Amino acid sequence: MAPSCCKLLCASSRLLFAVSLLAVATHAARPNPVRIAVYWGQGGGESTLNETCSTGLYSHVNIAFLSEFGGGRAPVLNLAGHCDPTSGGCAALAADIASCQSQGVKVLLSIGGGIGSYGLSNETDAQNLAAYLWNNFLGGSPSSSPLGGAKLDGIDFSIATGRDDYYDELAKNLKTMYNSSDLARAGNKTHMLTAAPQCPYPDKFLAPALKTGLFDHVWVQFYNNPPCDYASGTLQSAWNTWTAALPSASVFLGLPASPDDAARGYIDVETLASQVLPMARSAANYGGVMLWSRRHDERTGYSAKLQDIANNTVGTQRSCTFLVFGMA
Ligand SMILES: *[C@@H]1O[C@H](CO)[C@@H](O)[C@H](O)[C@H]1NC(C)=O
Ligand SMILES: *[C@@H]1O[C@H](CO)[C@@H](O)[C@H](O)[C@H]1NC(C)=O
Ligand SMILES: *[C@@H]1O[C@H](CO)[C@@H](O)[C@H](O)[C@H]1NC(C)=O
Ligand SMILES: *[C@@H]1O[C@H](CO)[C@@H](O)[C@H](O)[C@H]1NC(C)=O
Ligand SMILES: *[C@@H]1O[C@H](CO)[C@@H](O)[C@H](O)[C@H]1NC(C)=O
């Protein structure tokens, strides 16, 4: 019944326009239809953090990366050419972060990445890092902190090298600190844990941490991982494995935003919208899409195209539903 209704009634563009106006009126400030998490911070010539958030394309921005920590190292923030943290040069980002948050974008600090030197040696090391993260970026956040006192929305675990131990301890410690904070007492869930495991299951570095069940969002890297490529036909079974393994998290499909950005795993945006996302959405804990990275997305317009396609699809469905309802 619905498809023929669409053909008959949605054929009138004037009617569709009127119905769209009604839809806009009842869904004021509807956000973009696909939740997209993006990594920001490592791209030369990338737009600023505030510009990134102001595009309205993203639900989450991961600041990449806290690239050195643990094992007696002093934690070091590395934001490539954006700013120099050694001289307090990244403190100005606090204003951008506040602006992002006021626009409804969650901002997280991503620890790890592929460039630095990090790893946790023992439980004390994990406790110390949790305290450092809490005091500088989440709970205390003094103006002397590397991001100028910004209170972030959470910590992202993007662990790809070094030792694989004690990240479960880090997650538990962060959760415990959050639990005993005023934020939690007020019932205000502003602090989340996220992670970016490699797709082959289970991930060597993050498996024990993910087993804690403490992660809110998990963006699985379906790129540079031939066993999980869309092209090799194994994406769906890998997706089923991850979504079944993380019932308490929402799972995002991590993809490159440009074909020359990752050795493998690029999916053109039309195929993503018409083939892959409908499959991914069949999982109850589907979360959205994660893109590496803002710089590449800016160059290719990948997320803008994806939101545009999704907007048109959602718009058509909503109009038709409205008409059917209105006629019933
Ligand atoms: C834990 O690791 C830290 C950093 O490597 C080290 O300084 C400390 O001695 C270790 N503690 C124990 C109890 O092994
Ligand atoms: C961020 O961008 C918005 C929209 O362009 C602007 O209104 C705001 O002043 C900017 N904030 C900062 C801190 O640059
Ligand atoms: C945090 O609090 C929640 C809700 O009260 C509780 O279920 C959970 O076990 C606590 N987690 C930790 C690590 O303390
Ligand atoms: C929850 O956090 C938001 C954002 O920081 C704040 O605006 C709001 O007042 C807080 N609500 C409570 C009940 O603490
Ligand atoms: C999609 O629709 C939302 C809500 O109407 C709008 O804010 C956004 O700009 C649209 N996105 C694109 C890419 O057209």
Could you read off the pLDDT of 188-239 as tens digits, one per residue? 667 899 999 999 999 999 999 999 999 999 999 999 998 898 988 999 999 9
Candidate from 178, 188, 189 with most ligand 4 atoms within 8 A of CB, to mutate: 188
Q: What is the pLDDT of residue 30?
A: 62
How many domains does one find in the chain? 1
**Which pLDDT score, from 0 to 100, does residue 29 have?**
52
Asked whether residue 23 is domain-assigned, the answer is no
pLDDT-based confidence at 31, cuts 50/70/90?
confident
- The label of the residue with tokens 């131990």 reads 165
Residue-level pLDDT at 189: 66
pLDDT given for residue 263 in this prediction: 67
Query: What backbone phi and psi angles, to 5 degrees, belong to 77?
Result: -90, 135
Mean pLDDT within 39-47: 94
Over the chain, what is the mean pLDDT?
Answer: 88
**pLDDT given at position 284:** 98
Main-chain dihedrals φ then ψ at residue 67, nearest 5 degrees = -95, -10
Residue 86: inside a domain: yes
Query: From the CB of 191, is ligand 3 less than 6 Å away?
Result: no
Residue nearest to atom 1 of ligand 4 (CA): 188
Say yes or no to pLDDT of 13 above 70: no
Residue closest via CA to ligand 5's atom 5 equals: 30
DSSP state of 82: S
* 184 CA: nearest ligand 3 atom: 2
pLDDT at residue 314 in the model: 61
Asked if residue 206 is part of any domain, the answer here is yes
Q: Ligand 2: distance of its center to the CA of 57 in Å?
A: 16
| pLDDT band per the 50, 70, 90 thresholds, residue 264 | confident
Tokens of 173: 């410690």
What distance lies between CA 292 and its chain's CA centroid? 10
User: Which bound ligand lies closest to the C-alpha atom of 176?
Assistant: 3
Contact 214, 170 (CB under 8 A): no
Residue 179 Cβ inside 6 Å of ligand 3? The answer reads yes
Per-residue confidence band for 303, with pLDDT thresholds at 50, 70 and 90: very high
CA 122 to ligand 1: nearest atom: 1
CA distance to 37, 82, 157, 285, per residue, from 93 (Å)? 19, 10, 21, 32
29 or 256, which is more confident: 256
Question: CA quadruple 160, 162, 168, 174: dihedral positive or negative?
Answer: negative
What are the tens digits of pLDDT across the range 156-171? 999 999 999 999 999 9
Assess if residue 4 is contained within a domain: no
Domain assignment present for 277: yes
- For residue 253, what is the domain's CATH number? 3.20.20.80
- 44 — pLDDT class (breaks 50, 70, 90): confident
Q: For residue 186, what pLDDT band results from cuts at 50, 70 and 90?
A: confident
7 assigned to some structural domain = no
pTM of the model: 0.87
Sign of CA dihedral 134, 140, 144, 147: positive
- Residue 270 tokens read as 């039309």
Strands 106-113 and 154-159, how do they pair? parallel
Exposure b/e, 243-264, CB count within 10 A at least 16 = b? beebeebbbbbbbbbbeebbee
Q: Residue 251 pLDDT > 80, yes or no? A: yes
Q: Is 249 a domain residue?
A: yes
Of the candidates 234, 238, 303, 226, which has an alpha carbon nearest to the alpha carbon of residue 272? 303
Q: Which of 54, 102, 107 to mutate to test the pocket of ligand 2 (most atoms within 8 A of CB)?
A: 54
Q: Establish whether residue 28 lines the binding site of ligand 4, counting it when its CB lies within 6 angstroms of any ligand atom.
A: no
Atom of ligand 4 nearest to the CA of 188: 1
From the CB of 240, is ligand 5 less than 6 Å away? Answer: no
- Provide the pLDDT confidence category of residue 14 given band limits of 50, 70 and 90: very low
Q: Specify the pLDDT at position 162.
A: 93
Mean pLDDT within 122-126 = 98
Question: Please, which residues have CB within 8 angstroms of residue 136's CB and are 6 or more apart in sequence?
Answer: 142, 145, 146, 147
Query: Nearest residue CA, atom 6 of ligand 4?
Result: 188
The verdict on the CB of residue 189 being under 6 Å from ligand 4 is no
For residue 135, pLDDT over 90 is answered with yes
Hey, what are 250's tokens? 């929402």
Q: Is 188 in the pocket of ligand 4 (CB under 6 A)?
A: yes
Q: Could you tell me if residue 25 is inside a domain?
A: no
Confidence of residue 17 (pLDDT cuts 50, 70, 90): very low
Question: Ligand 2 — pocket residues by CB below 6 A?
Answer: 50, 54, 95-96, 99
State residue 316's pLDDT score.
54
295: tokens are 């710089």
Chain-centre distance of CA 195, in angstroms? Answer: 9
Residue 311, token pair as written in the block: 């907007």
pLDDT for the residue numbered 262: 64
Kindly identify the ligand whose nearest atom is closest to the C-alpha of 25.
5
Assess whether the C-beta atom of 181 lies below 6 angstroms from ligand 4: no
For 218, the token pair is 């998990």
pLDDT of residue 183: 76
Report the percentage of the chain scoring pLDDT > 90: 76
Q: Which ligand is nearest to the CA of 312?
A: 5
Range of the domain at 191: 36-317
Measured from the alpha carbon of residue 151, the closest ligand is 4
